[in-house]
Structures are given as C-alpha cells and as structure tokens.
Structure 1
Amino acid sequence: MHTDLVAALDIGGTKIAGALVDGTGALLVRAQRPTPARESGETVMGAVADVLAELTASPLWGRTTAVGIGSAGPVDASAGTVSPVNVPGWRDFPLVERVRKAVGGLPVELVGDGVAMTAAEHWLGAARGYDNALCLVVSTGVGGGLVLGGKLHPGPSGNAGHIGHISVDLDGDLCPCGSRGCVERIASGPNIARRALQGGWQPGPDGDATAAAVAAAARAGHPVAIASFERAAQALAAGIAATATLVEIDIAVIGGGVAGAGEVLFAPLRRALRSYATLSFVQQLTVAPAVMGTDAGLVGAAAAATSVRPGGTAAAAALSG
C-alpha cells in the first residue's frame, strides 16, 4: 500500500479548491477560497497561496510527492502559464513556477479543467474501463478531454479535446473565440437560454432565465425550450461524431451543469448522434452522464499529475489505480 499523496488544485472563475488526494482518489484534506476574479493577478495568486498554505500546514503534507493543477483555460502546459477567460488579471500568468516555489520545489503538472475532469472520469467514473474516451464539460462554456490508448491525452499545451471550439455550423454565429459556429456557441448553458429567450420563451415569476429553467420548461412541454435543447444536442452530437471519426472513441461522457438537464438533453443527443456517427466504426459509440460531480476537478488534477509526468514515480503507481 503506497502512502504517497498528491496535492490537487482546481482553479475556476468562482472558486479555487485544493485537496490532498490518496491512491484511491479520496480527498483527505480540503481547502477552498473564492476566486477574486476581478482583482489583479497577484490578488488571485494570493488566494491560491492561501489554499496551498492550508494544505502544507496539514500533518499529512509530508507524504505529498507532486502537485496537479486543473485550471480554467486556455492553459499552456509547455510554458506553465494560464490565461483563464474569466480571470482577466491572469494573462500568461506563470502559475506552475509560482506554485512550485510555494510548495518547496515539488514537481507540478498543469492541465486544462476539461482534461482534469476527463482524468477523473477515466480513473474512477463513467469512462472507467474504456481505453478510448471523450469527456465533455457542458456549462458556461464547453470543454473536454481525451483518453486514447488507455492514457490521458492532454496534448503539448494541455488543451487537447477542447471540443467546444470545433465548428459545427459553417456560417454560424461569431464565437467569442474568433471562429464561427462553434459547439460552445450553440450548446453552452448561456447560449441555450439565449436562444430560448430569442424564440419567445419567457422565464417564470422568479425571473430565472438560466439553462436549468429552460430545461424545466422543456420537461413541461414548452416547444421553444425543447427546440433550444434539441439544437444544443445536435451541436454536441456533431462535435462528438467528428471526434469519434477522427480518433475512434468508444464512449462520450458528458458532465457540467447542462448535463443536469438529463433526458431533455440526452434523448435528442442520442437521436442526433445516430444521424451523424454513421460509419461502421463509430456506430457503437456510447453516451453516458458523468458521475464524479463537483470533485472531478480535484480528483482529475491529482490523476493528471501522475499520469502525465514522464517516468512516473511512487505517486504514479499509487494513483494509477
């Protein structure tokens, strides 16, 4: 039984979470701070440092052999920098170097949050036992990651599998990324809600105009709400089918807030997938909801720290599960 631990950081626009993770994926010590997303880069780093200080103060810290970071993107793993869209103070911020200093020089591995979620679902979740998988996070944005040949495939910069910015509508709306007709521009929560509102759907007395409210309306039979989810499902299906055709995946796992819509999303998604994933080698593709929930980022950051690092260490053996 290995006793090595990995420190994990999950960095997003609303919270910075940290944990010490053991070889079974259990989170033994947790720390969290709100992300001061509108403040300076140094203020944001201060919140990260606070989380790390809480972890290093734990009596278990001595068993920690590496640090894994899953961050909102874009990230550049080769440069060790992050530029999260929703944290304007961080542009090419040298996060890896700063974290390495804060933890006394331990090895630090950085991946995008979609890749971290993928690592978690492959290790302990819905993609467990599959050698080739695509995992998607559908929420405010649409991110993702790939497992190929049984191994996490983050790519050189840590962003491989970023399905949200595959174009599925050649003459579609301009996406904030600069391209047109991106999956994210059609399938993200805010865009599902935007399309429903434009189509004449109106929020209830509580004024809730989120994708979750649109999902509730769709379940109640509102045609505009149903249509908005069908369009999102179609975009996701086209992106998943393109990915499956390119790299031969066996399963697509879908998490994030929008996946909480359940069959309102999954029924039209499976239907649309049958019309896009038509070649013999992609017809058997399975679609499943993610199961790791809000801890996926931390569990995945820990898994990524050990699966990505070349040569592997005792921690890799402990965490390869």
Structure 2
Amino acid sequence: MHTDLVAALDIGGTKIAGALVDDRGHILVRAQRATPAQEDGETVMRAVEEVLGELTVSPLWESASALGIGSAGPVDASAGTVSPVNVPGWRDYPLVRRVRAATGGLPVELIGDGVAITAAEHWQGAARGHDNALCMVVSTGVGGGLVLGGRLHPGPTGNAGHIGHISVDMDGDPCACGSRGCVERIASGPNIARRAYENGWRPGPDGDTSAAAVAAAARAGDPIAVASFERAAQALAAGIAATATLVEIDIAVIGGGVGKAGEVLLTPLRKALTDYATLSFVQRLAVVPAQMGTDAGLVGAAAAALAKGADKAPV
C-alpha cells in the first residue's frame, strides 16, 4: 500500500526520535527515547537501537526503502560519522554503519540537523516554492541549511549552510568553535539571555533567565531586553545578508526556540537587513518564521532519504 515509505531519525542532545514517513511527508509511526547525552557512546547507540526496534516491529517497516538521519553536528556524511558537540561520547562515531547494521542493511542518508530542518521547510513549510533559500535554527546554538537551484545543498560532509559560525564581528567575543564574533556567539538563546543579564536585566519572581523570559520582557517594553534582541537581530541580519550576497537566496526562514520570539526578533531583523543587504539582487529578500515545528527534523531526514532513494528530490 505504502510503496514510497522511508524511515527517519532525528538525533539531538535531548531526544532521539524515529518515524516511518510516507512520500507526502506524513508521519505514520513514531518512537522516541531521551538521549543519554552524558553516557558513553555505546549507551547512546543503545537508545538509537531501541527507537529503531520500535519502528521495525511495525507492519509498515517492510515497505521502508531507505533511512534518513538528521543529527546534531558536526556530521561527516562522506565518512558516515557524527561528533555532536552536546554528546561527548560520540566523536567520529560510525553512526551510518551502526544504523545500517541495526536495520538489516537499509540504505542510509546522513545530514546535519540544520540541513534536515531546511529540507522539511522547503518540502512542506515556509520555503515551499522557493528555489533558493536559507533556513536557520536559532536556539541553544544557531544552525542552518541551504536550498540552491531547487535542491537541498548539504555539501560534501552534510554541513553546508552552517550560518551560526559565520563571523560578523571581527573583534567580537571568542566563540566555542575557536573563532571570534560568530553569529551564534551573539544570537543564540543563551547569549541573548547572558547579554541582557550582564547589562542589568533581571528575571521576575519565577527566576526564569531564559531567552524566552527576555523576549517576554522585550514585548513588555523593557529597554535592556529590547536591546539584547536588537543585537541578536543585527548579527542574524549580517549573516543572512552575507549568505544572500554569496549565493543569491530570496528567502530566509527563521526557526528554533528563539525564532518563536516572533516580532521581537523579526522586526529589528528586517530593519537591520536593509543596512546589510544593500545590493540590488538581495534587496527583495524575505524573512519569515518557520512553519514545521517539532517534526521538522524527522520530516527533513525523510525528505533526504526519499531524494536519495529516488535519485530525484522531493525537496
């Protein structure tokens, strides 16, 4: 019945989600485990195998033609390995080989989580109908992915579009990646909150010091909270404009937890973009919120598997 069916894994520092997905992007079967992120690599792999085990007992499993993995990175699709920053037990971990073994040799396609979300937004979400797009995940970190010429562009290792580590402030703070003044160092949720706190913002009675709490304060007109989001918006605008100038995208999609701040982020971002995206061919660049929500990683991993399996992109 379901001839074009694929399996998908979405692997992050908090959860490992799995699904069987049809060729229209509908999730038919789900499984999930918490990521034992601080355990050794084999313990993390056992959680992946448990998720796969739940999928393989479904009667639909025999129709699955391939499996797509969207993983926290860095990933190396050319080697089939992953080294997620927030899963220290996995360094150059042979995830593709292990997943293939656990699924009886199913073809496996590995991409970074930012690329997976991009695939989902282009196939089913906010970038649908756009041939050249940048999709960003602004959360604990800042990731992203590219669609160029109507096709997902993961690059040789599966990390292309990683806008979080474009430097937008040459004399800026050192970033965990080893560079300085990266988009992520300025625009990620923890950095928005840190900057607001350092400049005198204080949480309410609940003690919530998250970027969401800073966003709520900014919505209520707190000038320090507003300024922290404006600085984040400026960094994002500079990174988006650089990307647009380099590869001619016509839409930037903003997702992730910080993206949910809405106009507190998007209004200053669109304004700052007019300062950076000044050349004629980038002036019509649209900035829109993501639409796919929490299933984006799974749907995007499925899109990559479908594209590989059919050798033609649904994305």
TM range (shorter): over 0.9
Aligned to 1:293: 293
**Cα deviations by residue, 1:202-245 (Å, 9 ceiling, x for unpaired):** 00110000000000000010000000000000000000000000
Aligned-pair distance for 1:80?
Answer: 0.3
Distance in 1, Cα, partners of 2:272 & 2:70 = 31
Aligned to 2:19: 19
The answer on 1:32 being equivalent to 2:26 is no
Distance in 2, Cα, partners of 1:2 & 1:84 = 33
Structure 1 counterpart SS, 2:48: helix
Distance in 2, Cα, partners of 1:306 & 1:134 = 21
The answer on 1:183 being equivalent to 2:158 is no
Aligned-pair distance for 1:2?
Answer: 6.1
Aligned to 1:320: 314
Aligned to 1:103: 103
Contact 2:2 2:63 in 1 (8 A): no
Distance in 2, Cα, partners of 1:21 & 1:2 = 10
Contact 2:115 2:144 in 1 (8 A): yes
Distance in 2, Cα, partners of 1:225 & 1:181 = 20
Aligned to 2:161: 161
Q: Which amino acid aligns with 2:284?
A: Q
How many aligned residue pairs are there? 315
Aligned-pair distance for 1:3?
Answer: 2.2
Distance in 2, Cα, partners of 1:2 & 1:58 = 13
Q: Which amino acid aligns with 2:119?
A: A
Aligned-pair distance for 1:4?
Answer: 2.0
Structure 2 counterpart SS, 1:264: helix
Give unpaired runs (5+ residues) of structure 2: none
Aligned to 2:223: 223
Aligned-pair distance for 1:306?
Answer: 2.5
Aligned to 1:9: 9
Aligned to 2:122: 122
The answer on 1:203 being equivalent to 2:197 is no
Runs of 4+ in 1 over 4 A off after TM superposition: none
Aligned-pair distance for 1:304?
Answer: 1.2
Give unpaired runs (5+ residues) of structure 1: none
Contact 2:119 2:301 in 1 (8 A): yes
Aligned to 1:237: 237
Q: 1:2 to 1:131 in 2, by over 3 A?
A: farther
For 1:265-304, what aligned pairs fall within 5 Å after superposition? Answer: 265-304=265-304
Distance in 1, Cα, partners of 2:305 & 2:270 = 33
Residue identity over aligned pairs, in percent, reads 81
Q: Which amino acid aligns with 1:320?
A: P
Q: Which amino acid aligns with 1:286?
A: A
Contact 2:167 2:181 in 1 (8 A): yes
Q: Which amino acid aligns with 2:185?
A: R
For 1:31-50, what aligned pairs fall within 5 Å after superposition? Answer: 31-50=31-50
**Cα deviations by residue, 1:132-184 (Å, 9 ceiling, x for unpaired):** 00000000000000000000000000000000000000000000000000000
Aligned-pair distance for 1:320?
Answer: 1.9
Aligned to 2:148: 148
Aligned to 1:94: 94
Aligned to 2:305: 305
Distance in 2, Cα, partners of 1:283 & 1:82 = 37
TM-score by length of 2: 0.98
Q: Which amino acid aligns with 2:61?
A: W
Distance in 1, Cα, partners of 2:89 & 2:211 = 28
Q: Which amino acid aligns with 2:26?
A: A
Contact 2:82 2:94 in 1 (8 A): yes
Aligned-pair distance for 1:305?
Answer: 1.6
TM-score by length of 1: 0.97
Structure 2 counterpart SS, 1:31: strand
Aligned to 2:192: 192
Structure 1 counterpart SS, 2:33: strand
RMSD: 1.1
Distance in 2, Cα, partners of 1:304 & 1:164 = 22
Contact 2:23 2:306 in 1 (8 A): no
Q: Which amino acid aligns with 1:243?
A: T
**Cα deviations by residue, 1:15-40 (Å, 9 ceiling, x for unpaired):** 00000000110000000000000000
